[in-house]
Amino acid sequence: MGYKNINFLTGTKFLVTGAAGFIGSNIVNALLNKGYKVRGIDNFSTGNIDNIQKHLSNPNFEFVEGDIRDFDTCKVICTNIDYVLHQAALGSVPRSMKQPLIYEENNVKGTANMMEAARISHVKRFIYASSSSVYGDSPNLPKVEGDEGNLLSPYALTKKINEEYGKLYTDIYGLECIGLRYFNVFGKHQNPNGAYAAVIPKFVSQLLVNDSPTINGDGEQSRDFTYIDNVIEANLKACLAPYEACGKSFNIAYGDRENLMDVYRKISTLLGKEITPIFGLNREGDIKHSIADISEARNLLDYHPEYDFTTGLELTIEWYKENLLGVKSY
């Protein structure tokens, strides 16, 4: 269970794109703690140098400030790499509704650049971040791979295109690609600031300073919130999964759901706060409910998420209390 007992050959080298971002920096931290060699790249459009600062002097870590939209850069960083863990992308459904072209540039062109560079460099396997947003307007619960609806945002479209590229690169070019459809990932290093910040860090950061958070809609919408260490497990296990998993995409979640009001109440209780939230408009492009069927990931990736929502939330809040209370701004 978890990723602590997952082992690779001595000298294995990983490339993590989006290495200074929320998910990427947590993966970098886990790999370096296990003693592996890691190369990271980030252009700091959303990543934060603070997330990887402590690793910059580690001889096993090589960091490149660069942009995956530049193919020459992609070729350089894929050289002598065994596994690519591709996390670099622009997130946020609402932002993509306002700026579709930058999502095309970053999420589609950037990912295609990385797959081609990985193919040229004979990378063993290419693991990439997809998203639960590819399920679009499908009303069916739980969400099952192969039962997708109409896409609802440019962000979702970019992730679906990534999956099609992953299948093509596996089938045509022999680059073993596996997509991971993340469901509402949360945890340490997640940015609580900005108009498009994820709900859990936003709630925590505002409650810590006694502000009233805004809940979009009626608060009854539900999500399969997934603690970051479960995502790390999925990435590492995907590297070692049987070939049958390649060319496919898998739900990466816990397999349970919480509605936003319950999440707000749990955070308030853990922080000892009694603050009434503000209710705002529904977010454009959002779906009402989401929960994942993780049986395919369990069967083909040996994915068995260790952290349930409550355990992950407790760990997350402890991290924010240490890092947000006047110590750092993320």
CATH number at residue 96: 3.40.50.720
pLDDT at position 69: 98
Hey, which residues are catalytic here?
A: 155
37-54 pLDDT, tens digit per residue, is 999 999 999 999 999 999
Tokens 């497990």: give the residue.
Answer: 233
pLDDT score for 327: 41
Span of 109-123, 154-168, 207-221 with lowest mean pLDDT? 207-221
Report residue 114 CA to chain centroid gap.
17
Residue 295 has pLDDT above 50, yes or no: yes
Percentage of residues in the chain with pLDDT exceeding 70? Answer: 96
pLDDT value at residue 64: 98
User: 5 lies in a domain?
Assistant: no
Assess if residue 241 is contained within a domain: yes
**Mean pLDDT, residues 23-42 taken together:** 98
Report the pLDDT value the prediction gives residue 329, as an integer from 0 to 100: 37
Look at residue 156 in the predicted model and tell me its pLDDT: 97
- Digit-coded pLDDT (tens) for 179-201: 999 999 999 999 988 766 789 99
Domain, as residue range, for 67? 13-184+227-255+287-307
- Under the banding of pLDDT at 50, 70 and 90, the label for residue 3 is confident
What pLDDT does 4 receive? 83
% of the chain surpassing 90 pLDDT: 87
Higher pLDDT, 179 or 287: 179
Quick one: pLDDT band at residue 280, thresholds 50, 70, 90?
A: confident
- Mean pLDDT of the region 7-35: 97
- Which pLDDT band, with edges at 50, 70 and 90, does 282 fall under? confident
**Average pLDDT of span 206-210:** 92
What pLDDT was estimated at residue 157? 98
Query: Has residue 191 been placed in a domain?
Result: no
Residue 94 lies in a domain: yes
The pLDDT of residue 284 is: 67
Is the pLDDT assigned to residue 112 strictly greater than 90? yes
In a domain, 135, yes or no: yes
Residue 198 located in a structural domain: no
pLDDT digits (tens, 9 = 90+) for 123-167: 999 999 999 999 999 999 999 999 999 999 999 999 999 999 999
pLDDT of residue 36: 97
Taking the model in full, what pTM does it have? 0.95
**How many structural domains does the chain have?**
1
Q: Give the model's pLDDT for residue 196.
A: 67
> Of the given ranges (9-18, 65-74, 86-95, 283-292), which has the lowest mean pLDDT?
283-292
pLDDT band of residue 217 (cuts 50, 70, 90) is confident
The reply to whether 48 falls in a domain is yes
Q: Is residue 73 in some structural domain? A: yes
Asked if pLDDT for residue 286 goes beyond 80, the answer is no
Mean residue pLDDT of the chain comes to 94
Q: How many CB atoms lie within 10 A of CB 58?
A: 14
Residue 109 has pLDDT above 70, yes or no: yes
